[in-house]
Amino acid sequence: MTAATAETGRGDAPRPVLSVRDLTVAVATPGGAQPVVEDLSFDLIAGETLCLAGESGSGKSMTALAIMGLLPQPTARIAQGSIRLADGTELAGLSDRALRKIRANRISMIFQEPMTSLNPVLTIGTQLTEVLLEHGACSRAEAPGRALDLLRDVRITDAARRLKQYPHELSGGMRQRVMIAIALACDPEILIADEPTTALDVTVQAEILDLIRTLQREHGTTVLMITHDMGVVAEMADRVIVLRHGRQEETAPVHQLFAAPRTAYARELLAAVPRLGHAPARPVPERLPDVVDVEGLTVRYPIRGGIANRVQAQVHAVENVDFRIAPGETLALVGESGCGKSTIGKALLGLAPWTGSIRIAGQQMQGLSPKGLKPVRRNIQMIFQDPGASLDARMTVGRQVGEPLVVHGQARGSELQDRIEWLFRRVGLTPEQIDRYPHEFSGGQRQRICIARALALRPRVIVADECVSALDVSIQAQVLDLLRELQQEEGLAYLFISHDMAVIDQVADRVAVMNLGQIVETGSREQVLRTPMHPYTRRLLSAVPIPDPNHVRPAVLARDGEVGSPVRPLGQHPVRLEMDEVAPGHWVARSDAAARSAA
Amino acid sequence: MWAYLVRRTGEALLILLGISLVTFVLLYLVPADPARQIAGRSATVETVANIRAQLGLDQPFHIQYVRYLGNLLQGDLGRSYLQRSEVAELIAARMPATLLLMAAAIVVELILGLTIGIVAALKRNTAVDQSLMVFSFVTISAPQFVVGILLLYVFAVRLHWFPIGGYGSFAHLVLPAITIGLLGTGWYSRMMRSSMIDVLAQDYVRTARAKGLGRLRIILRHVVPNAVLPIIAMIGIDIGLFMSGIVVVESVFGWPGIGQLAWQAIQRVDIPIIMGVTLVSACFIVLGNLVADLIAPLVDPRIKLK
C-alpha cells in the first residue's frame, strides 16, 4: 500500500530508493543515433512493485539495462538524464568499476531466459558463492553454507544436492529460482525482474510470481518489474508505467489503470488483452463430415546407447491420441512444454515418425510413400510460431508464398503471379510488397506472409503451432481476426496448438488438454474451460494470471503426485488413460487416484 | 562409459582395417618395383625375380594382403626391404622423438592460438584485431617447409639463437615445434576468436556482469572455459595435420622421428616401412579423436558419453 499512498500524496512523504529523470537511451543505427527511451522520469518507492509495461520495442528492457549499466556496448548509451540512488549516487555515467559495487549489492537483476542465463560449465554452488565472495558478503569458509541457505530461501527442493549440479540438470523453473537466489544473495535494495516468467509454463510462472512476492515481503526489497503481460501486471504491480516507442504513455496505480485508463493507447492495449472467460460466443459450425480423423496416433523417439548403440529407451512423445476436426471447426491442443502438442502437429504433416491412423479429407496417410503423400499434403498446411525464422531471409516473400504452387505444379508464369497477388490481398498485404525480403516486414506482417503461404494450395486443414505467441497483443488480435475470417469464408479446419489459455478461449470450438503425450480432457470450449474436470486442467486454469487487479488468484493447486517423464525404458509403456464421458462430448481421463481406486 | 569405450575401440579397429587396405592397394599400384630398387641398377633379371619371390611380391594381391594382416595381428609389421631390420623396431626407436615434437607443437599452438584468439576477440574490429588476423592468415597459408627454412635462416644461421638441426636438447626442439605449431596457431586463433565473440554475447555473460564481477574474472572464469569447448574437439582432428607436417619438418630440421623415416622409405619404395608408418599415424589420429571425446565431458558437463 506504500505505493498507493505515494501516488495520492497522503501520509508520510514516500522515500524513493531510485529516481530516474529525463532518461534518454540512444542506439547507434546506420542512419545515426536513434532514441529507444526518451525523457523517461519516475521514482521507485521503497517496498513497492513498479511495473514497466509495454509491447516489443517500447524500451522497457533498455531502461532496466541502463539502470544496471549493462546497455549493449558499444551500440547503446545513455544520451541524457539521471539515474540516482537514495543516497545521491548518480548511476548515469558512473565508471564500470564503481558500477560493479552497485550491481548485485544494491541493485540486482533477473532475466527472461533462465535456460541461458546461467553458465553451463559451472555448478550452481560456484555461481552462487561467486557473487557472495565478490561483494565480501561472507568469508570463503562460510560461502557454501550461505549458498545453501539462499537456495532454501527460494524454496528449491533438495537444496544441498543442487549446489553440486549444473544448470542443464535443473528445470526452467528451478533455474529461475537459482537466478533469484543469486540476485538476492547480497540483500539488494532493488530487484529488477525483466520478463522473469515469460519463458516459463503457466503453472511455473505462478509459482515464481508467488516466490517473488514472498521474498519481497520478507526482505523488504523494492521490485521493478518489466513485462508485456497485462495479467502479470495486474497480479504483481502496485503502480504501472505504460511505455510505447520509448515514451511514457501513462503512469498510474494499478487499480486506476485497469479501471479507468486515461490515455487512448493504454485503453487499446488493455482492450486487446485476451481474457479467459470473456471470449464472445462462437457460432456452432454446421456438423459436416470430419476432415481430420486421427486414431491411436503414437510418436516415439528412440534413445540409443550401449556397446552396439541399440535402442535402450524411448521418448513417448505422443501416446494413443484420438481426435476429429470438422470443416470450419477449430480444435485447440493445450498443455505445458514437452506435453507432445507440437509433435502431433508435426505428425499430421508427416514431419515426425508416427504410427496409428491419420485421415485427411478421407485419405489415409498411413503406409503412403513420400510420393503418395504429396497430394494429401496439399490439404494440410502449417503456420509456425516464429514468423521470422520460418521465412527464408534470402528469398523474396512473393516467391516463398508462390513456392508451394510451383512445387505442386499448380501454377506458373502470369497465372502464378496472379495467384500470389490474390493471396497477398487475401491476408491484408498489398501486391506491391511481393518483391520485398522478409526483413523489411514487421512480426505481424511476416505472420501474414506465412498464412498466405499456408493458404496457397487451398488446404482444408491448417495446423497453427503457437502462431501468435511471439506477437504483441494488439498484433495478436489482428492475426487471430484474420484467421477467423479465413475460416468462415473458406471453411478451414484449424488445429490450434497453444499454451495460452486466454488465446484458446478466443479461437477454439473444442479443446483437448494434453499431459505427458496423452489427452487428459477434451470437450467443447465451455465444457473444458468453464467446468474443467481433470485435476491437471484445473491446475493449468488456476495458474493463468487474470488481467484484473481485483482478482485474487487462489494459490496454484498442488501437483497431482510426481511430475512424470515421457522417457521410459524399452518395453515399458505408459498406462493408457481411460476416458469417461461426463457430459455429451466432454471426455475426461480417470485421474491416477480414481484409476487406482477403480483397479 | 565402458560400453562407450568398447564401441569406440571396435569402430577404431574397423577404421584401421580400412586404412590398411587402402594403403596396401595404393602401394600395390605404384609403378615403382621394390625388388628392382633393392637389387640395384646393375642386377640381372634373375636376381630381381629371386628377390621378388623371396619377398612374396610375386603372389596375387589378396594373398599378399591377407599375409600382411596375419602378421599384423601378431604385432609384426614386417621387415624393412633395405634397412634389414624389423619395421616395428625402427618405428619404436624413432617414436619418442616424434611424440616429443608433437607435444611441443600442441603446446605452441594452444598457447599462441588461444592467446591470439582471446586478444583479437576482446579487441575486435580494432587495428590489433586486424593485424592478428592477418598474421593468422599468413601462418595458415605459408607452406611449412618455407616457414621452417625461414626460421632456420633467421634464428639459427643469422642470430645463432638455436642450433641448425639435430636432436637432443630443448634448444633443438624450439624451431621445429614452432614450425609445426604455427599452422595450428592460425586455425585456433581464428576459431577461438569467433567462439569468444559468440560466448561474449551469451546471456550468462550478462548475468556475470550483473553480479558485479570484474572484467578479468568474467573473461577467465565465464567466457574462456565456454569458448574453448569447440577447440578441444579440434585437437583430436589436428593430429592428422601433424602427421603430414612432420614428414616435411623432420626432414628440414634433421629430426630423427618417424616422419624422417617415412620420407626415406618413400624415396626407396620401402613398402613395409611406409605401411607401418601409415598405420601408426592412423592409430594416433584415431586415438587422438577418442581422447578428445573422452576429455569433452570433463570440460563440458552437458556432454554425456553414451
Do B134 and B116 contact (CB within 8 A), yes or no? Answer: no
Q: Looking at residue A3, what is its pLDDT?
A: 44
Tens of pLDDT, residues B222-247: 999 999 988 887 887 788 778 888 88
Work out the pLDDT band at A5, boundaries 50, 70, 90. very low
Query: What ipTM goes with this model?
Result: 0.82
Q: DSSP readout, A552-572?
A: -PPPPPPPSSSPP-SEEETT-
CA distances from B40 to A372, B36, B44, B82 (A): 70, 6, 9, 11
**Is pLDDT at B37 greater than 50 in this prediction?**
yes
Tens of pLDDT, residues A464-499: 999 988 888 888 888 999 999 999 998 999 999 998
Residues of A with CB below 8 A from B221's CB?
Answer: 122, 130
Q: Are strands A292-305 and A310-325 parallel, antiparallel or unpaired?
A: antiparallel
**Is pLDDT at A391 greater than 90 in this prediction?**
yes
Residues of A with CB below 8 A from B215's CB?
Answer: 96
Q: Looking at residue A12, what is its pLDDT?
A: 59
Do A508 and A332 contact (CB within 8 A), yes or no? Answer: yes
Work out the pLDDT band at A4, boundaries 50, 70, 90. very low
Q: Which residue has the cell 534413445?
A: A303
Exposure on the CB side of residue B119, measured as CA atoms within 13 A:
14
Work out the pLDDT band at A558, boundaries 50, 70, 90. low
Measured CA to CA, the distance from residue A543 to residue A558 in angstroms comes to: 11
Q: Cβ–Cβ of B211/A131 closer than 8 Å?
A: yes
A132 → chain B, closest CA residue: B211
Q: Looking at residue B268, what is its pLDDT?
A: 83
**Among A40-54, A277-291, B44-58, B208-222, where is mean pLDDT lowest?**
A277-291
Do B293 and B305 contact (CB within 8 A), yes or no? Answer: yes
Q: Which residue has the cell 455429451?
A: A584
B298 → chain A, closest CA residue: A121
Bridge partners of residue A18, in order along the sequence: A44, A85
Cβ-Cβ contacts under 8 Å between A and B: the total is 84
In angstroms, the separation between the Cα of residue A304 and the nearest Cα of chain B is 8
Q: Looking at residue A6, what is its pLDDT?
A: 42
Q: Residue A398 has which C-alpha cell?
A: 512473393
Measured CA to CA, the distance from residue B128 to residue A172 in angstroms comes to: 41
- For A580-598, what is the mean pLDDT? 75
**% chain B with pLDDT above 70:** 100
- For A557-583, what is the mean pLDDT? 78
Task: Please give the single-letter amino acid code of residue B162.
Answer: F
Q: Looking at residue A182, what is its pLDDT?
A: 95
State chain A's mean pLDDT as an integer.
Answer: 89
Give the A-side interface with B, CB within 8 Å.
Answer: 68, 70, 96, 99-105, 108-109, 111, 113, 116-122, 130-131, 134-135, 166, 168, 179, 182-183, 304-309
Highest-confidence range of A349-358, B71-80, B297-306, by mean pLDDT? A349-358
The set of residues, in sequence order, having a beta carbon less than 8 Å from that of B176 and lying 6+ positions away, is: B101, B104, B105, B148, B249, B250, B252, B253, B255
Q: Cβ–Cβ of A168/B301 closer than 8 Å?
A: yes
Q: Rounded to an integer, what is the distance from CA A508 to the centroid of its chain?
A: 19
CA angle B42, B46, B49 (to 5 degrees): 105
Work out the pLDDT band at A563, boundaries 50, 70, 90. low
- For A196-219, what is the mean pLDDT? 90
**Is pLDDT at A9 greater than 50 in this prediction?**
no
With a CB-CB cutoff of 8 Å, which residues 5-44 of chain B face chain A? Answer: 6-7, 10
CA angle B170, B173, B176 (to 5 degrees): 165
Do A310 and A304 contact (CB within 8 A), yes or no? Answer: yes
The set of residues, in sequence order, having a beta carbon less than 8 Å from that of B208 and lying 6+ positions away, is: A119, B217, B218, B221, B222
Q: Residue B201 has which C-alpha cell?
A: 554475447
Q: Looking at residue A289, what is its pLDDT?
A: 86
Helix axes A143-153, A172-184, angle to 10 degrees: 120
Q: Which residue has the cell 547507434?
A: A28
- Please, what's the b/e burial string for B197-235 (b: 16 or more CB within 10 A of its CB; e: otherwise)? eebbebbbbbbbbbbbbeeeebbebbbbbbbbbebbebb
Measured CA to CA, the distance from residue A310 to residue A302 in angstroms comes to: 9
Q: Cβ–Cβ of A70/B206 closer than 8 Å?
A: yes
Q: Which residue has the cell 509491447?
A: A55
Measured CA to CA, the distance from residue B187 to residue B190 in angstroms comes to: 5
Q: Rounded to an integer, what is the distance from CA A222 to the centroid of its chain?
A: 25
**What is the pTM assigned to this prediction?**
0.84
Return phi, psi of residue B90, to 5°. -60, -45
Task: Please give the single-letter amino acid code of residue A172.
Answer: G
Tens of pLDDT, residues A116-147: 999 999 999 999 999 999 998 899 999 999 99
Helix (H, G, I), strand (E, B), or coil: what is residue B214? coil
Q: Which residue has the cell 642470430?
A: B159
Q: DSSP assignment, residue A455? A: H
Measured CA to CA, the distance from residue B3 to residue A320 in angstroms comes to: 34
Exposure on the CB side of residue A253, measured as CA atoms within 13 A:
14
A65 → chain B, closest CA residue: B210
Q: Cβ–Cβ of B212/A121 closer than 8 Å?
A: no
Q: Residue A469 has which C-alpha cell?
A: 505467441
Closest CA to B155 of B132, B176, B169: B176
**% chain B with pLDDT above 90:** 39
**Is pLDDT at A502 greater than 90 in this prediction?**
no
Q: Residue A515 has which C-alpha cell?
A: 499431459
**Is pLDDT at A26 greater than 50 in this prediction?**
yes
Q: Looking at residue A89, what is its pLDDT?
A: 92
